[in-house]
Amino acid sequence: MEEKEFALTIKFKGVESKLLEEAIRNGLFSTKSELIRAALIHYFIELGLLGREQRWKEIQSFPKRKVTPEQLAKELNELEDEV
């Protein structure tokens, strides 16, 4: 199967924009693009367009964050201290 790629620009306002920023700030995702990709995969699963095996392959193909759980906890604590 040929892998296709395209660029997409999306503008978010209001609550959606705030939720995106909060998810990034809290370290749930490293980029907005990563968050949107994860949301699309989740939506495709909900629609039944991706099965468990395909879902796992898709998840494993995403670049991994090179942050240990300890480092993530430390960074989150530092962010909380700033607020």
Q: Is residue 50 part of a domain?
A: yes
% residues pLDDT > 70 (the chain): 96
pTM: 0.54
CA dihedral sign of residues 14, 17, 19, 25: negative
Q: Is residue 5 part of a domain?
A: no
pLDDT at 47: 87
**Which amino acid, 57?**
K
Q: Which domain holds residue 25?
A: 14-82
Q: Is residue 6 part of a domain?
A: no
Overall number of domains in the chain: 1
Q: Is residue 36 part of a domain?
A: yes
CB-CB contact of 20 with 32 (8 Å)? yes
User: 26-46: per-residue pLDDT in tens?
Assistant: 999 988 889 998 998 889 888
pLDDT at 19: 93
Q: Is residue 4 part of a domain?
A: no
Q: Is residue 51 part of a domain?
A: yes
Pick from 2, 59, 54: nearest CA to 34? 59
User: How many Cα atoms occupy the beta-carbon half-sphere of 35 within 13 Å?
Assistant: 17
Q: Is residue 9 part of a domain?
A: no
